[in-house]
Structure 1
Amino acid sequence: MIGRLAESPETLDGFLRLSGLFEAATLDPLAREVVIMTVATRNACHVCVAMHTGKLTALDADGELVAALREQRALGDERLECLRAFTLAVMDGAGAVRDEVFNAFLEGGFTRRNALEVVLGVGAYTLSTFANRMTRAPLDERLAPFAWSAEEIA
Protein backbone atom coordinates (compact mmCIF):
# COMPACT_ATOMS: atom_id res chain seq x y z
CA MET A 1 0.00 0.00 0.00
CA ILE A 2 2.68 2.50 0.99
CA GLY A 3 4.70 1.65 -2.11
CA ARG A 4 1.75 2.47 -4.32
CA LEU A 5 1.09 5.75 -2.50
CA ALA A 6 4.77 6.62 -2.86
CA GLU A 7 4.28 7.01 -6.62
CA SER A 8 3.04 10.42 -5.51
CA PRO A 9 5.29 11.58 -2.68
CA GLU A 10 2.83 14.37 -1.93
CA THR A 11 -0.04 11.92 -1.54
CA LEU A 12 2.02 9.65 0.70
CA ASP A 13 3.19 12.59 2.79
CA GLY A 14 -0.37 13.91 3.04
CA PHE A 15 -1.70 10.56 4.23
CA LEU A 16 1.11 10.05 6.74
CA ARG A 17 0.65 13.54 8.17
CA LEU A 18 -3.13 13.28 8.34
CA SER A 19 -3.11 9.82 9.88
CA GLY A 20 -0.43 10.91 12.36
CA LEU A 21 -2.54 13.88 13.39
CA PHE A 22 -5.57 11.63 13.75
CA GLU A 23 -3.57 9.25 15.96
CA ALA A 24 -2.78 12.24 18.21
CA ALA A 25 -6.45 13.23 18.50
CA THR A 26 -8.29 13.16 21.81
CA LEU A 27 -10.50 10.28 20.69
CA ASP A 28 -9.31 7.12 22.42
CA PRO A 29 -7.62 4.39 20.31
CA LEU A 30 -10.73 2.20 20.11
CA ALA A 31 -12.88 5.16 19.06
CA ARG A 32 -10.36 6.09 16.36
CA GLU A 33 -10.50 2.53 15.04
CA VAL A 34 -14.31 2.70 14.92
CA VAL A 35 -14.04 5.80 12.72
CA ILE A 36 -11.42 4.16 10.48
CA MET A 37 -13.34 0.90 10.10
CA THR A 38 -16.56 2.80 9.35
CA VAL A 39 -14.81 4.68 6.54
CA ALA A 40 -12.96 1.58 5.30
CA THR A 41 -16.05 -0.62 5.05
CA ARG A 42 -18.20 2.14 3.56
CA ASN A 43 -15.52 2.74 0.91
CA ALA A 44 -14.95 -1.03 0.46
CA CYS A 45 -11.17 -0.94 0.99
CA HIS A 46 -10.06 -4.51 1.62
CA VAL A 47 -6.55 -3.38 2.63
CA CYS A 48 -7.73 -0.90 5.28
CA VAL A 49 -10.33 -3.27 6.70
CA ALA A 50 -7.76 -6.05 7.06
CA MET A 51 -5.12 -3.74 8.51
CA HIS A 52 -7.46 -2.19 11.04
CA THR A 53 -9.00 -5.52 11.96
CA GLY A 54 -5.44 -6.39 12.96
CA LYS A 55 -5.16 -3.18 14.96
CA LEU A 56 -8.44 -3.89 16.73
CA THR A 57 -7.22 -7.39 17.53
CA ALA A 58 -4.01 -5.91 18.98
CA LEU A 59 -6.19 -3.60 21.12
CA ASP A 60 -8.03 -6.71 22.43
CA ALA A 61 -11.29 -5.36 21.04
CA ASP A 62 -14.36 -7.52 21.57
CA GLY A 63 -14.84 -9.99 18.71
CA GLU A 64 -18.49 -9.01 18.28
CA LEU A 65 -17.48 -5.36 17.93
CA VAL A 66 -14.97 -6.25 15.22
CA ALA A 67 -17.50 -8.45 13.40
CA ALA A 68 -20.17 -5.74 13.53
CA LEU A 69 -17.75 -3.13 12.15
CA ARG A 70 -16.67 -5.46 9.33
CA GLU A 71 -20.33 -6.21 8.50
CA GLN A 72 -21.51 -2.59 8.83
CA ARG A 73 -23.94 -3.54 11.59
CA ALA A 74 -24.97 -1.55 14.65
CA LEU A 75 -22.54 -1.90 17.53
CA GLY A 76 -23.59 -3.31 20.88
CA ASP A 77 -21.68 -0.59 22.73
CA GLU A 78 -24.00 2.44 22.83
CA ARG A 79 -21.21 5.04 22.91
CA LEU A 80 -19.31 3.48 20.01
CA GLU A 81 -22.51 3.05 18.01
CA CYS A 82 -23.17 6.76 18.50
CA LEU A 83 -19.70 7.42 17.07
CA ARG A 84 -20.23 5.03 14.14
CA ALA A 85 -23.60 6.62 13.30
CA PHE A 86 -22.07 10.10 13.51
CA THR A 87 -19.20 9.08 11.22
CA LEU A 88 -21.69 7.75 8.66
CA ALA A 89 -23.70 10.97 8.91
CA VAL A 90 -20.55 13.02 8.31
CA MET A 91 -19.76 10.93 5.23
CA ASP A 92 -23.33 10.83 3.91
CA GLY A 93 -23.86 14.57 4.33
CA ALA A 94 -20.37 15.64 3.23
CA GLY A 95 -20.07 17.21 6.68
CA ALA A 96 -23.59 18.66 6.80
CA VAL A 97 -24.86 16.75 9.84
CA ARG A 98 -28.44 17.28 10.99
CA ASP A 99 -28.82 19.02 14.36
CA GLU A 100 -30.43 16.00 15.99
CA VAL A 101 -27.53 13.76 14.89
CA PHE A 102 -24.97 16.27 16.15
CA ASN A 103 -26.82 16.66 19.44
CA ALA A 104 -27.05 12.87 19.87
CA PHE A 105 -23.28 12.70 19.33
CA LEU A 106 -22.72 15.29 22.06
CA GLU A 107 -25.19 13.55 24.37
CA GLY A 108 -23.31 10.30 23.71
CA GLY A 109 -20.35 11.71 25.62
CA PHE A 110 -18.42 13.26 22.77
CA THR A 111 -17.35 16.88 22.30
CA ARG A 112 -17.32 19.42 19.49
CA ARG A 113 -13.58 18.80 19.30
CA ASN A 114 -14.27 15.09 18.83
CA ALA A 115 -16.67 15.94 16.00
CA LEU A 116 -13.90 17.77 14.16
CA GLU A 117 -11.54 14.86 14.88
CA VAL A 118 -14.06 12.57 13.16
CA VAL A 119 -13.85 14.85 10.12
CA LEU A 120 -10.05 14.55 10.25
CA GLY A 121 -10.32 10.74 10.40
CA VAL A 122 -12.82 10.66 7.56
CA GLY A 123 -10.50 12.81 5.45
CA ALA A 124 -7.36 10.79 6.18
CA TYR A 125 -8.96 7.43 5.56
CA THR A 126 -10.99 8.54 2.56
CA LEU A 127 -7.65 9.48 1.00
CA SER A 128 -6.22 6.07 1.92
CA THR A 129 -9.21 4.01 0.84
CA PHE A 130 -9.59 5.83 -2.48
CA ALA A 131 -5.87 5.53 -3.25
CA ASN A 132 -5.77 1.84 -2.30
CA ARG A 133 -8.74 1.04 -4.50
CA MET A 134 -7.52 3.15 -7.42
CA THR A 135 -4.04 1.61 -7.38
CA ARG A 136 -5.45 -1.87 -6.73
CA ALA A 137 -3.20 -2.27 -3.71
CA PRO A 138 -2.73 -5.95 -2.92
CA LEU A 139 -3.26 -7.38 0.54
CA ASP A 140 0.03 -7.95 2.33
CA GLU A 141 0.59 -11.60 3.33
CA ARG A 142 0.80 -10.74 7.01
CA LEU A 143 -2.75 -9.37 6.81
CA ALA A 144 -4.17 -12.54 5.22
CA PRO A 145 -5.74 -13.71 8.51
CA PHE A 146 -7.80 -10.50 8.53
CA ALA A 147 -8.81 -10.56 4.84
CA TRP A 148 -12.15 -8.92 4.05
CA SER A 149 -14.35 -8.51 1.03
CA ALA A 150 -17.31 -6.23 0.48
CA GLU A 151 -19.32 -9.39 -0.21
CA GLU A 152 -19.24 -10.05 3.56
CA ILE A 153 -21.86 -7.33 3.95
CA ALA A 154 -23.97 -8.16 0.93
Structure 2
Amino acid sequence: MRETDLRFAEHTVDTAPAGSVKAMEGIVKNLGFLPSMTARQSESPELLNGFLRMSALFESVTLEPVAREVLIMTVAARNECGFCVRMHAGKLEELGVGADVVEALEGQQPLEDDALEAVRVFTHAVMDRAGAVSDAQLEAFYAHGYSKRQALEVVLGIGTYTLSTFANRLVERGEHLS
Protein backbone atom coordinates (compact mmCIF):
# COMPACT_ATOMS: atom_id res chain seq x y z
CA MET A 1 0.00 0.00 0.00
CA ARG A 2 1.27 3.44 -0.87
CA GLU A 3 0.26 6.35 1.30
CA THR A 4 -0.67 9.25 -0.93
CA ASP A 5 -1.13 11.85 1.80
CA LEU A 6 2.36 12.55 3.10
CA ARG A 7 1.15 14.65 6.02
CA PHE A 8 1.04 13.11 9.46
CA ALA A 9 -2.33 13.24 11.21
CA GLU A 10 -2.56 15.46 14.25
CA HIS A 11 -4.16 12.91 16.54
CA THR A 12 -6.22 13.54 19.61
CA VAL A 13 -6.60 11.05 22.44
CA ASP A 14 -9.75 9.90 20.62
CA THR A 15 -8.05 9.26 17.25
CA ALA A 16 -4.57 8.12 18.28
CA PRO A 17 -3.45 4.52 18.27
CA ALA A 18 -4.32 2.91 21.61
CA GLY A 19 -0.66 2.58 22.59
CA SER A 20 -0.20 6.36 22.46
CA VAL A 21 -3.24 7.45 24.48
CA LYS A 22 -1.80 7.12 28.00
CA ALA A 23 1.34 9.04 27.01
CA MET A 24 -0.72 11.78 25.37
CA GLU A 25 -2.90 12.12 28.46
CA GLY A 26 0.22 12.40 30.62
CA ILE A 27 1.64 15.14 28.41
CA VAL A 28 -1.61 17.10 28.57
CA LYS A 29 -1.60 16.74 32.35
CA ASN A 30 2.02 17.97 32.57
CA LEU A 31 1.90 20.79 30.01
CA GLY A 32 -1.77 21.70 30.02
CA PHE A 33 -1.97 21.07 26.26
CA LEU A 34 -0.90 18.58 23.61
CA PRO A 35 1.88 19.94 21.36
CA SER A 36 1.12 19.41 17.69
CA MET A 37 4.40 17.53 17.23
CA THR A 38 3.38 15.04 19.93
CA ALA A 39 -0.04 14.67 18.36
CA ARG A 40 1.65 13.70 15.08
CA GLN A 41 4.29 11.47 16.67
CA SER A 42 1.51 9.53 18.38
CA GLU A 43 1.09 7.72 15.04
CA SER A 44 3.89 5.51 16.40
CA PRO A 45 3.28 4.52 20.02
CA GLU A 46 6.76 2.98 20.08
CA LEU A 47 8.43 6.24 19.09
CA LEU A 48 6.34 8.39 21.43
CA ASN A 49 6.70 6.09 24.42
CA GLY A 50 10.36 5.42 23.67
CA PHE A 51 11.15 9.13 23.59
CA LEU A 52 9.26 9.75 26.83
CA ARG A 53 11.15 6.94 28.59
CA MET A 54 14.50 8.18 27.29
CA SER A 55 13.62 11.75 28.27
CA ALA A 56 12.72 10.63 31.79
CA LEU A 57 16.02 8.77 32.03
CA PHE A 58 17.89 11.85 30.85
CA GLU A 59 16.10 13.97 33.45
CA SER A 60 17.48 11.64 36.15
CA VAL A 61 21.17 12.00 35.22
CA THR A 62 23.76 13.80 37.33
CA LEU A 63 24.19 16.72 34.93
CA GLU A 64 22.60 19.83 36.42
CA PRO A 65 19.27 20.96 34.86
CA VAL A 66 20.80 23.97 33.07
CA ALA A 67 23.59 21.80 31.63
CA ARG A 68 20.96 19.32 30.39
CA GLU A 69 19.03 22.12 28.72
CA VAL A 70 22.23 23.47 27.14
CA LEU A 71 22.80 20.02 25.65
CA ILE A 72 19.21 19.79 24.42
CA MET A 73 19.34 23.26 22.87
CA THR A 74 22.67 22.42 21.24
CA VAL A 75 21.18 19.32 19.60
CA ALA A 76 17.95 21.14 18.67
CA ALA A 77 19.73 24.10 17.07
CA ARG A 78 22.16 21.89 15.22
CA ASN A 79 19.34 19.68 13.92
CA GLU A 80 17.27 22.76 13.02
CA CYS A 81 14.23 21.77 15.05
CA GLY A 82 12.50 25.10 15.56
CA PHE A 83 9.81 23.58 17.78
CA CYS A 84 12.45 22.07 20.09
CA VAL A 85 14.45 25.29 20.21
CA ARG A 86 11.36 27.28 21.22
CA MET A 87 10.26 24.74 23.80
CA HIS A 88 13.67 24.42 25.46
CA ALA A 89 14.35 28.15 25.29
CA GLY A 90 11.28 28.43 27.51
CA LYS A 91 12.67 25.81 29.88
CA LEU A 92 15.97 27.67 30.13
CA GLU A 93 14.09 30.86 30.95
CA GLU A 94 12.12 28.99 33.65
CA LEU A 95 15.48 27.92 35.11
CA GLY A 96 16.49 31.58 35.34
CA VAL A 97 18.97 31.56 32.48
CA GLY A 98 19.40 34.92 30.77
CA ALA A 99 18.26 35.71 27.26
CA ASP A 100 21.90 36.06 26.19
CA VAL A 101 22.50 32.35 26.81
CA VAL A 102 19.32 31.37 24.98
CA GLU A 103 20.22 33.58 22.01
CA ALA A 104 23.76 32.18 21.87
CA LEU A 105 22.45 28.62 21.89
CA GLU A 106 19.86 29.39 19.22
CA GLY A 107 22.59 30.93 17.08
CA GLN A 108 25.06 28.12 17.85
CA GLN A 109 27.47 30.64 19.35
CA PRO A 110 29.87 30.26 22.31
CA LEU A 111 28.58 30.78 25.85
CA GLU A 112 30.26 33.07 28.36
CA ASP A 113 29.87 30.56 31.21
CA ASP A 114 32.90 28.27 30.89
CA ALA A 115 31.24 25.18 32.38
CA LEU A 116 28.16 25.47 30.17
CA GLU A 117 30.36 26.19 27.16
CA ALA A 118 32.22 22.96 27.94
CA VAL A 119 28.90 21.08 27.69
CA ARG A 120 28.04 22.79 24.41
CA VAL A 121 31.48 22.14 22.89
CA PHE A 122 31.62 18.54 24.12
CA THR A 123 28.13 17.86 22.75
CA HIS A 124 29.27 19.09 19.33
CA ALA A 125 32.46 17.02 19.57
CA VAL A 126 30.52 13.84 20.38
CA MET A 127 28.15 14.49 17.49
CA ASP A 128 30.90 15.48 15.05
CA ARG A 129 33.00 12.44 15.80
CA ALA A 130 30.17 9.93 16.38
CA GLY A 131 31.40 9.50 19.94
CA ALA A 132 35.08 9.03 19.07
CA VAL A 133 36.21 12.25 20.75
CA SER A 134 39.90 12.95 21.15
CA ASP A 135 41.70 12.74 24.47
CA ALA A 136 42.03 16.52 24.41
CA GLN A 137 38.27 16.98 23.95
CA LEU A 138 37.52 14.61 26.81
CA GLU A 139 40.12 16.25 29.05
CA ALA A 140 38.66 19.69 28.27
CA PHE A 141 35.24 18.44 29.39
CA TYR A 142 36.68 16.95 32.59
CA ALA A 143 38.64 20.16 33.28
CA HIS A 144 35.32 21.89 33.99
CA GLY A 145 34.42 19.46 36.75
CA TYR A 146 32.54 16.93 34.67
CA SER A 147 33.01 13.19 35.16
CA LYS A 148 33.24 10.04 33.04
CA ARG A 149 29.68 9.28 34.01
CA GLN A 150 28.59 12.69 32.76
CA ALA A 151 30.45 12.18 29.49
CA LEU A 152 28.24 9.13 28.96
CA GLU A 153 25.19 11.12 30.06
CA VAL A 154 25.96 13.52 27.22
CA VAL A 155 25.69 10.55 24.84
CA LEU A 156 22.31 9.66 26.35
CA GLY A 157 21.12 13.24 25.92
CA ILE A 158 22.29 13.39 22.33
CA GLY A 159 20.54 10.11 21.52
CA THR A 160 17.33 11.17 23.22
CA TYR A 161 17.10 14.56 21.58
CA THR A 162 18.32 13.43 18.19
CA LEU A 163 15.37 11.04 18.21
CA SER A 164 13.05 13.90 19.15
CA THR A 165 14.41 16.43 16.67
CA PHE A 166 14.44 13.97 13.78
CA ALA A 167 10.88 12.83 14.54
CA ASN A 168 9.68 16.43 14.87
CA ARG A 169 11.22 17.40 11.56
CA LEU A 170 9.72 14.35 9.84
CA VAL A 171 6.17 14.91 11.10
CA GLU A 172 6.39 18.65 10.52
CA ARG A 173 7.36 18.31 6.87
CA GLY A 174 3.81 17.62 5.74
CA GLU A 175 2.89 21.20 6.64
CA HIS A 176 5.24 22.42 3.95
CA LEU A 177 4.00 20.17 1.14
CA SER A 178 1.60 21.53 -1.40
TM-score per shorter chain, which class? 0.7 to 0.9
Corresponding residue for 1:85? Answer: 121
TM-score calculated relative to the size of structure 1: 0.87
Answering whether residue 82 of structure 2 is matched by residue 9 of structure 1, we say no
Q: Which amino acid aligns with 1:91?
A: M
Counterpart for residue 94 of structure 2: 58
The structure with higher relative contact order (CA 8 Å, sep 6+) is: 1
The count of residues paired between Structure 1 and Structure 2 equals 138
Could you list the structure 1 runs, at least 4 aligned residues long, displaced by more than 6 angstroms after superposition: none
2:132 aligned with 1:96: yes
Distance 1:66 1:85 in 2: 15
CA gap 1:137/1:27 in 2 versus in 1, 3 angstroms:
farther
Moved more, 119-128 or 1-10: 1-10
Q: Deviations over 1:37-59 (max 9, x none)?
A: 00000000001000001101111
Deviation at 1:137, TM superposition (A): 7.0
User: Which of 93, 117, 120 is residue 153 of structure 2 equivalent to?
Assistant: 117
Once residues 31 and 4 of structure 1 are traced to their aligned partners in structure 2, the CA distance between those partners, rounded to angstroms, is 29
Q: Distance in 2 between matches of 1:65 and 1:137?
A: 29
Runs of 5+ in structure 1 lacking a partner?
Answer: 139-154
Among all aligned residue pairs of Structure 1 and Structure 2, give the percentage whose two residues are the same amino acid. Answer: 57
- Which AA in structure 1 matches 2:79? N
Residue 136 of structure 1 aligns to a residue in which SS? helix
Give me the whole-angstrom Cα distance separating, in 1, the residues matched to 2:168 and 2:74: 16
Q: Distance in 1 between matches of 2:131 and 2:43?
A: 30
Structure 2 residue aligned with 1:134, among 139, 151, 170?
A: 170
- Structure 1 residue aligned with 2:16: none
2:116 counterpart letter in structure 1: L
CA distance in 1, matches of 2:148, 2:154: 10
TM-score after normalising by structure 2: 0.76
In the alignment, the residues of structure 1 paired with residue 173 and residue 45 of structure 2 have an alpha-carbon distance, to the nearest angstrom, of: 16
SS at match of 1:110: coil
